[in-house]
Structure 1
Amino acid sequence: MSAQSATAATRWIDAAFVRGGTSKGLFFAERALPPPGEQRDALFAGALGSPDPFGRQLDGMGGGISSLSKVMVVGEAGAAHAPADLVYTFGQVAVGVAAVDYSGNCGNLSAGVVPFALHTGLLSLPDGPRTVRLLNTNTGKRVVVNLVVEDGEAAVAGDFVVPGVAGAGSPIELVYPDPAGSRTAGQLPTGRPIDVLRSTGREIEASLVDVALPLVVVRAADLGLSGAESPDEIDAASGRAVELEALRREAAVLMGLARSPEETPQAVPKVVCVAEPRDSRLLDGSLVAADDADVLARTMSMGLAHRAVPGTAAMCLAAAAAIPGTLVEAIVRDRRPSERALRIGTPSGVVTAGAVAERQAAETGNGEVRDGVPVVTGASLFRTARVLMSGRVSVPKRPADDRP
């Protein structure tokens, strides 16, 4: 069967529906798609059911929230991408408008890249523990994936639990060997561990950090939050979304992601509200004790509170915890049991992410050499993934699709 076929009103495109971590999305082989551009973006939006003024994407495969409105494009790596085995591109599809944002990577769906490639024949590996090297085109960064292969496919059964995902699965380790400066000048784009944002008419301290993902970290208390709220409670507060978006856009300019607040990408930077741990109620009704987490985090994604935490955001928080002077480091300074691992309390449970930071020598003005600010040289995260469906997805056909 060909990669593409058409009826009078519909096109059918080879695809797979994949869960990676706490996200789900449509995965496509690069060879099944038109070239990057307007036609490809329209295909993605149509397949997921955007634009949808009702915010539910009922006429597509999306789920009406950012973690369920995503696409991945996976291709074989050529000589120019050596030593990568696969190349992939992440797209965040807006719900209310027909737009696709490629400004950042998705750590959760990154866990599904190798399972998808094995399932569709883009990659073939012998059974057993395997390592696959990826190149993410959104950030130009490399990702090393460690997983187990069984019967030619990614192992599914296991005892590893991802908070927010029912059941357990086989762990997939994502290692980012050079994560700093994914879209900006470095781990601290402004060179400062704390900046002051003023777009809301008052001064709000923020740590602007870019490790695996550009992140704007603010204190929950500065926004009238405890840090233990549910996503629905955050979203329901009148005016808060507007305030957070204003802060996000101001920070984007400071980080060099946009020339003006109006030009800020939709997907990055993301805003995370952090707080000292306290007993908190999860989405499933269970209680997490304060001692089980090092920091509480509530993440905003595409204008809504995230149900868990994006994988790349978790790694960025772990990195921030290793950089002296950031808001995260101030919270966890005397609390973490491990220097490399950070336990993050999210609405769905405690997520653990790791970061490696090394102090590099710095020369002082009088010629002395001292240890400088720690530089993050690696970050890691464990996820699970599963191919939920493979076949062809229906895409509404536009009149322009018939043009030669």
Structure 2
Amino acid sequence: MKMNKKLKLAFCLFKYFPFGGLQGDFMGIAKECMDRGHKVVAYTISWEGKKPEGLEVRLLPVSGMTNHARYKSFAQLVHEYVKGESYDVLVGFNKMTGLDVYYAADVSYAAKMMERSRLHRYTPRYRTLMALERAVFDKGSKTEILLLTEKEKNFYMDYYGTTAERFHLMPPGISRAFLPPVNADKIGDEKREELLIGREKTVLLMVCTNFKIKGVARAIRAVSALPPEILRESVLLVVGKDNPRHYSHLAKQLKVLEQVRFIGTRSDVPQLLMAADFFIHPASVENTGTVIIEALAANVPVLTTDICGYSFHVTCAQGGQVVRDPFNQEELNQALSFMLTSDQRNVWQANCKKYIEHTDIFSRSQKVADFIEKVTL
């Protein structure tokens, strides 16, 4: 039930650009809040793309030559700019001080740094990013935390002393556009024709905005290890915003340049999934992996790594294969080869369909808006 009181909300995000996972969540939640009649003001360092009607965007004049210095400056400026604005709730989509609500899409920086050399702990970057994370999770903080997965909850509680009652688990939130319509096969065929990919080809789809951490090199190596007769009929289609030069060079070195295509950012990902046979997401860092849920919703079998927070959905759905941590390239190679040569594809597809029909994967924006309203009561 929606509340009668109209709220004034400040949403804080380091950077907005189309097609980013966090940015998509930000936009979905902002639109849901505005649909409920609330005023949303977005504070950010930079904004790319269209601004939806009703959303006020304020670019803050940050200082600093490095990203971490600019993030620190942004966190300080936010509090200067919100003074006297009478906001009901200050919502952060990145870690910073003084938030009422933090949308926890990022992995823990402290946990990530524990795997690195101790020398990193003496850098300004480490000190800055740790301070921003501690501001949210420290036991003395009053920030309410919206978790997207349970993956790092225990770490935060052990490392920072965060109390359990400050964590609130949110469901996934994807568009129903990813559900295949009755004419999905026709749409998929048309998309293949547009991309000049024959129906006889096996299409492996990747969708990501950071090729390094989302595993594009891992995927290329796995493709190069396919049996020759399978490799000849396979295409790795990489969608996303990043520089493909290094990865094209790797594909050329491994003699699979003809099998790997980079097609940039796209607004037709649901249709691309209808054209795909498999979805691959072998990330090395991934708090959630919304694209995994999108592929399952499209009934496309998934190959991923269990470092991804949403990989458990693939296991629960029995909708593909999950490579266990610590990562081993040979295991990924074998898993990909198994999926492309197995007769289980139809079974995986049916399992995906059944799982999605009985799992809440759509309501995140609504549940986050519900919580934002609740904290004002």
TM-score normalised by the chain length of structure 1: 0.31
Bigger relative contact order, structure 1 or 2 (CA pairs below 8 A, ≥6 apart): 1
* Larger helix percent: 2
TM-score normalised by the chain length of structure 2: 0.33
